[in-house]
Amino acid sequence: MDDAAYFQAIPKAELHLHLDGSVRPKTVLELAKENGVPLPIDDLAKLSDFLEANENTASLVEYITFFELPIAVLQTVPALERATYELCEDLKHDNVRYAEIRYGPWLHVQQGLSLTDVIRAVLSGWTRGRKDFRLEGGIIVTALRDMPPAQNLALAQVAGRFVSDGVIGFDLAGDEAGHPPVLHEDAFRLARSLGLNITIHAGEAAGPESVRQAISMGALRLGHGIRAQEDPEVVATIRENGVQLDTAPTSNAQTKAVRRLQDHPLKRFYEQGIKVTISTDSRTVSHITLTREFQNVVAALGCSPEQVWAMNLQALEGGFGDEVGRARLRHEFVDAEAMLRRGRVTG
Ligand SMILES: [Zn+2]
């Protein structure tokens, strides 16, 4: 069994996954037609290209522009339900068993939905999808850096009502430069008090100071965090506080958090004892699956398959989902991998 087959077959956990960055191109096309959203291109193959960032993408700001069309079509309850359900199906094909799906509800109120409508729609797609495709995990609600702090505070308030329905975390994303996380400290304090786990995107478009701030706001899991590598003191803070970095190497190279994929610090961080996990970030925009991302990490970053497996277990370990479900999956993961490994040795 080669690496590709092995990585496809192992049960996987993915913690950093944006709904709006992972809508199937065919679904974008159909929803645009159904809802009268103007399309730049009417051909599926060309639309797929249009929706994908690549190594020529210049920055996080440019990367975020690839989300505009998917967001424009996700403005109704059926569209949000469908995209979430289909993402669950795509996760199943990638043999992901534990997933945390995130999105920013404020981006989906352009045609009159309330925050509550949006959160309910995504939870409905998730509830159906997780059952049909045997997933554990939950939904992370994302606040946006460039929103007024009061709007993120309102979002935390609404999200907190859905803690027992599958919303497990509160996140901060968006253009990092010039929008420090501390502006949204009140929203995060409230989210935590309502029982939501905290994660923050940091150290992607901005440097180590952004990482330091995110940790000081109580985030023990960071989206990416990789530009911490520019300051050994911040790297030490990450390690000493057991902060987990949920990285997405292909996306990180596209947003220019690293200049090239080969410059990614994942392997070095792992070997320094930092908790690191691998995700796709955005399956459509980054044109990637978790299986392929695991292969990239071996081919481009020089990680061993054993290291990748350890990072995969870390993702399950560090998930926000309930401990009972994760403990059950831990056994399943370990047993399945042991069997596949024996197959690799003998086959
Ligand atoms: Zn992200």
Q: What is the pTM of this model?
A: 0.97
254's enclosing H/E stretch is helix 249-254
Q: Is 204 a catalytic residue?
A: yes
For 197, other C-beta atoms within 10 Å of its C-beta total 22
Look at residues 175, 139, 177 and name the one whose alpha carbon lies nearest to residue 158: 139
Question: From ligand 1's centre to the CA of 142, what distance in Å?
Answer: 10
Question: From ligand 1's centre to the CA of 281, what distance in Å?
Answer: 5
**64 CA to centre of own chain:** 14
For 45, other C-beta atoms within 10 Å of its C-beta total 9
Could you tell me the CA-to-CA distances from 347 to 3, 5, 340, 342 in Å, in that order? 12, 12, 10, 8
pLDDT of residue 57: 86
Q: What domains can you pick out in the chain, each with its CATH number?
A: 3-346 (3.20.20.140)
pLDDT of residue 305: 96
Question: From ligand 1's centre to the CA of 132, what distance in Å?
Answer: 26
Bridge partners, residue 96, by sequence: 12
Enumerate residue ranges in the chain where pLDDT < 70: 346-347
Determine the Cα–Cα distance for residues 181 and 203; give it in Å rounded to an integer.
Answer: 11
Question: From ligand 1's centre to the CA of 16, what distance in Å?
Answer: 6
Determine the Cα–Cα distance for residues 310 and 70; give it in Å rounded to an integer.
Answer: 33
Tell me the angle at which helices 25-35 and 77-93 cross, rounded to the nearest 10 degrees: 170
Could you tell me the CA-to-CA distances from 241 to 13, 106, 219, 235, 254 in Å, in that order? 23, 32, 10, 10, 29
pLDDT of residue 206: 85
Question: From ligand 1's centre to the CA of 223, what distance in Å?
Answer: 6
pLDDT in tens, 278-322: 999 999 999 999 999 999 999 999 999 999 999 999 999 999 999
Determine the Cα–Cα distance for residues 36 and 253; give it in Å rounded to an integer.
Answer: 34
Which one is catalytic: 100, 136, 204, 293? 204
Tell me the angle at which helices 77-93 and 115-132 cross, rounded to the nearest 10 degrees: 30
pLDDT of residue 347: 56
Question: From ligand 1's centre to the CA of 102, what distance in Å?
Answer: 8
The CA-based dihedral angle spanning residues 217, 163, 289, 173, taken in that order and rounded to the nearest 10 degrees:
-30
